[in-house]
Structure 1
Amino acid sequence: MLKIIDKYILKRYLVTFTVMLLMFIPIGIVIDVSEKINKILANKVPFIDVAKYYLDFTIYFANLLFPIFLFLSVIWFTSKLANNTEIIAILSSGISFSRFLRPFIIGATIVSLFALIMNIFLMPSAAAGFKSFRYKYLSNNNGANVKDRSDVFRQTSKDEYIYVSSFNDVSKMAFYFSMEKFKGDKLQYKLNANKIKFNQKDSTYTIYNYTKRKVGEFNDVIETGEKKDTVFNFDLDDLTPVVYIAETLPLNELNKFIEKEKSRGSSNINTYLVVLYKKYSIPASAFILTIIAVSVSSMKRRGGMGMNLAIGIILAFAFVFLDKVFGVLAEASTAPPLLAVWTPNILFGIAAIFLLRNAKR
C-alpha cells in the first residue's frame, strides 16, 4: 500500500515540476523574442546563433527561476491532493505525516541532483553563450546589456594593476587599457593603449595607439607607437569582468581561479565566492521549499487552490528576493559570502520547521 502511494506521489511530484518548466520556459522565450526581434532582424543574426542563444537562454532561465518553478509545482499538486481529500484518506489509514513526506523528500533529492548537475556542468557554457550573444548582437543600442562587462579594474600581482573600460569576449579585445607598475609605493611606469587584443596562436597581446611613461629619478622616458606585440604576465580572464568570469567557468576552473585571486589579494574575491556557493545553496533549497510547500498546501482552505497558490507565489518570490539581496550584500560588503548565500536557506529552513509542526497537528 505504502509503495503504491509513494510511487503515486513521486510521479506527480516529478511530472508536475517538469510540466511547470515546459509551461513557463516557452513563455519566457516568447517574451524575450518579442523584446529583441527588431535587433535580431536589424543585425541579420544567423539562425544558428539565435537557436544556440535560446538553448542557452532556456538553461539560464530555468536555473534562475528554479525555486519558483519547484515551489509552485509542489503547491499545485499537493493542493489538488488536499482538495480531493486524498491526504485525509492517506493520514486516516494510520500513516504519519512524516511518513507521508517521504516521497516528497525523494522527489526533492532527484530535483536537487538535477539542479546541481545543471549548475556544475551546463550553466557555465550556457552563461557564456547567453552573454556573448547579447554582447555581440544586442549591445549597440542597449547599454544595460554591457553594464556587467564595463570598467574592469584588477590587481594582477603584488605591484601591478590593470584597467579596461570594456571587454569584447568574441574578438578577445579590450578597450582603453591601462597598466601601472609600482615598486613599493612608487610608480615605475604606466602604459596606456586605446585597444589591447589577445592573440590565441602564441598567447601574446597586441596593443594599439599606446603610450608608455617610465618614471625616472629626474626625467621621465616616454615611448609611443601605433601598434606593438608584447607579452604580459596576466591572463585573458583578467580583462574580463568579475561576474562574467565567475558565471562561465567550470567548477574546477572556478576553484583554481578563486585560489589565484586569493593569492593576489583581489578585492573582488567575494563576488567569485558568491557564484561558487550558489552552485550548492540553490539545489539544497529544493528540500526546504518542498517541506514548506507541502506544509502550506496539505490542508483545505477557504479559496481552495487559489489561496494556496497565492501564498506559494508570495513565498517563492520572497525566497528569490532574499537570495538576490544577500548575494549583492556579500559582493558589496565585508559580510561572509558563505553566510550571506546560505541565509535565505537558513531563514526558510526555520520557517519550514515551524510550518511542518503546525501541519502535523
Structure 2
Amino acid sequence: MKIIDKYILTRYLGTFLVMLLLFIPIGIVIDVSEKVNKMIVNKTPLLDILIYYGDFTIYFANLLFPIFLFLSVIWFTSKLANNTEIIAILSSGISFNRFLRPYLIGASIVTLFAFLMGFILVPNASKGFNDFRYTKLKENSQTRETNDIFRQIKNEKNIKEYIYVSNYSYSSKTGFNFVFEKCMGNKLLYKVSATRIKYNEESKDYTLFDYKKRTIGKLNDVIEFSDKKNEIYNFEPDDLTPLIYVAETMTIHNLINFIDKEKARGNSNINEYQVVLYKKFSLPISAFILTIIAVAVSAMKRRGGMGANLAIGIVIAFTFIFLDKVFGSIASKSAFSPLLAVWIPNIVFGILAVYLLRNAKR
C-alpha cells in the first residue's frame, strides 16, 4: 500500500469514527432528556440504564452508519479539495480511478464491519434496546402494541387457526380479550374466548380467565364456561409481539427459519419480516454507493467551499433516507416486492453514483 493510500484510508476511517463519536452522544443526550423523568419515577437501576445506552449506541450506529459515512467522506474530501491536495495528486499522474481506490478499500472495511454488526451484535442490541423501552418505562410497561393483534397460526390440510388479542403485556406475558378460532375450510368448528390469557413459562401452557368455548354442532351449539382453565395452543408468546420488533432481535439464521415458519402458517404480514431480512444485506452495500457519490460531489473545489459540499451532501442523505423509509413502508403494507423495495434506494443512488463519477472524471 502506497503512502497516498494510507493517507486517504486513515482520513476515511478516522473521520468516520469521529463522526460517530460526535453524533451518538448527541443522540444519547436527546434520549436521556426524553426519558429521564420516567426513569426516576420507575426507579430504574443505574446498571440497567448503562446497559440500555450500550445497546442504544450499537442499534443507532448500525441504523445510521451510511449517513455518517457519507457526511464524513464529504467532509474530509472537501478539505482535500480546498487545500488543492486533490489537484496535486491528479497532476502527479494518478488517475481518478486510482485516487478512488483507498476510498473503496475503506468502504470494504466499513461494509464488512457492518455485516458483522448486523448479523451478530445488532439483534441482541435491538432486543435490549426495545426490552428496556417496553418493560422499564411506565407508559410502555403494560403492552408492546396498543393496536389489535390478529394472527393466523395454522393453515394445513384445509384446517385454519386464528388468534386475536386486543393488546399484550410483554413483561407479564399476558394478553387481553383473547379469541381463538378453528376452521375447516370456510366453516367454523369452534371458538374460544377469554377476558385474559397468561403464558406459563414452566408448564409451557396458557391460563385462560373467564373461559368460554362454543363448539358448532349440526343442530345445536355446545357452550362451555369456566372461571379459569389451562390450555395448550400452537403459538408462542412472541406471536403476540410487534412484527418488526421480533424480526429485529433475530440473527440471520433464526430470521430465515422464522420467515419460513410464518410462510407455512399463511401469515399475511410476512412482508414485514422480509423487509428486515433484506435490509441486513442492502444497508451495508450502500456504504460503497454513498462513498462514490460523496467523492464525486466533494472532489471538485467549489465557490461555496466545504459548506456548499455539505449542503449538497445533506440533501442527498435525506433523499436516501426518504426513499428507504417510503419503499420499506410500501413493501410492509402492500403486495409490492420487499426485495425490490429494499434495493430501490441503492439502485437509484447507484445510477446517480455512476453519473456523478463520470462527471467528476472530466
**1:60 alignment counterpart:** 59
Match of 1:185 in 2: 186
1:322 corresponding residue in structure 2: 323
**1:142 deviation in Å?**
10
Show the counterpart of 1:155.
Answer: 152
Letter of the structure 2 residue corresponding to residue 252 of structure 1? H
Assess if the C-alpha contact under 8 Å between 2:151 and 2:267 holds in 1: yes
- Do the aligned residues in 1 keep the contact of 2:141 with 2:169 (CA within 8 Å)? no
* Residue 69 (structure 2) aligns with: 70
Residue in 1 that maps onto 2:130: 131
Query: Matches of 1:332 and 1:292 in 2, distance apart?
Result: 31
Output aligned runs, 1:241-252, within 5 Å.
241-252=242-253
Residue 219 of structure 1 aligns with an amino acid whose one-letter code is: N
Query: Post-superposition shift, 1:279?
Result: 0.2
Cα deviation for residue 133 of structure 1 reads 1.3
Q: Distance in 1 between matches of 2:318 and 2:264?
A: 38
The whole-number CA distance in structure 1 between the counterparts of 2:199 and 2:138 is 21
Q: Secondary structure at the match of 1:334?
A: coil
Contact 1:150 1:241 in 2 (8 A): no
The answer to whether the Cα contact below 8 Å between 2:144 and 2:241 also exists between their aligned partners in 1 is no
Deviations 1:231-272 (A, max 9, x none): 112223222221121111111111001111111221111111
> Can you list the C-alpha shifts for 1:10-30, whole angstroms capped at 9, x where unaligned?
011001101100100000000
- CA distance in 2 between counterparts of 1:48 and 1:19 reads 27
Shift of 1:175: 2.3
DSSP-derived class of the 1:140 partner:
helix
Counterparts of 2:221 and 2:99, CA distance in 1: 78
- Aligned-pair CA distance for 1:173: 2.3
Number of equivalences: 358
In structure 2, how many angstroms separate the alpha carbons of the residues matched to 1:142 and 1:357? Answer: 54
**1:105·1:287 contact (CA, 8 Å) conserved in 2?**
yes
Is structure 2 residue 352 aligned with structure 1 residue 356? no
In structure 1, distance between residues paired with 2:299 and 2:52: 40
Q: Which amino acid aligns with 2:255?
A: L
**Cα distance in 1 for residues equivalent to 2:4 and 2:330:** 44
Q: Give the Cα–Cα distance (whole angstroms) in 2 for the partners of residues 173 and 255 of structure 1.
A: 27
Note the 1:139-288 alignment, pairs <5 A: 140=139, 146-147=144-145, 150-158=147-155, 159-288=160-289
> Runs of 4 or more off by more than 4 Å in structure 1?
none
SS at match of 2:136: helix
Q: Is the 8 A contact 1:150 1:164 kept in 2?
A: no
1:343 Cα deviation from its structure 2 partner? 0.1
Provide the rounded CA distance (Å) in 1 between the counterparts of 2:270 and 2:358.
40
Q: Report the Cα distance in structure 1 between the residues aligned to 2:138 and 2:257, rounded to whole angstroms.
A: 31
Note if contact 1:139-1:146 (Cα within 8 Å) is conserved in structure 2.
no
CA 224–154 in structure 1, closer or farther in 2 if over 3 Å, else same:
same
Q: Deviations over 1:111-168 (max 9, x none)?
A: 111111111111111111111111123352799x944x64221111121001122223
**Against the structure 1 CA distance between its residues 353 and 142, is the aligned structure 2 distance closer, same or farther, given a 3 Å change threshold?**
farther
The CA distance in 2 between the partners of 1:98 and 1:250, in whole Å, is 37
Query: What is the distance in 2 between the residues matched to 1:245 and 1:191?
Result: 26
Q: Distance in 1 between matches of 2:164 and 2:14?
A: 50
Deviation of residue 4 (structure 1)? 0.4
Aligned to 2:112: 113
Instruction: Classify the secondary structure of the residue corresponding to 2:248.
Output: helix
Whichever residue aligns with residue 7 of structure 1, its letter is K
Q: Secondary structure at the match of 1:335?
A: coil
1:38-79 Cα shifts (integer Å, max 9, x gaps)? 111111111121111111111111122122111111001101
2:153–2:266: 8 Å Cα contact kept in structure 1?
Answer: no
Q: Is the 8 A contact 2:134 2:140 kept in 1?
A: no
Residue in structure 2 matched with residue 96 of structure 1 by the alignment: 95
The residue type paired with residue 195 of structure 1 is: R
Q: Aligned Cα RMSD in Å?
A: 1.6
1:220, distance to aligned residue in structure 2 (A): 1.8
Alignment of 1:292-331 (within 5 A): 292-331=293-332
> Aligned with 1:101: secondary structure?
helix
Give the match's secondary structure for 1:301. coil
SS in 2 for 1:217: coil
Measured in 2, the distance between the counterparts of 1:139 and 1:222 equals 39
The DSSP-based 3-state class of the residue aligned with 1:157 is: strand
**Farther-moved stretch of structure 1 (170-179 vs 249-258):** 170-179
Amino-acid identity (%): 65
The letter of the residue matching 1:105 is L
Letter in 2 for 1:156: I
Give distance in 1, aligned partners of 2:2 and 2:80. Answer: 17
Contact 1:193 1:209 (C-alpha < 8 Å) held by counterparts: yes
Give 1:325 deviation, angstroms.
0.5
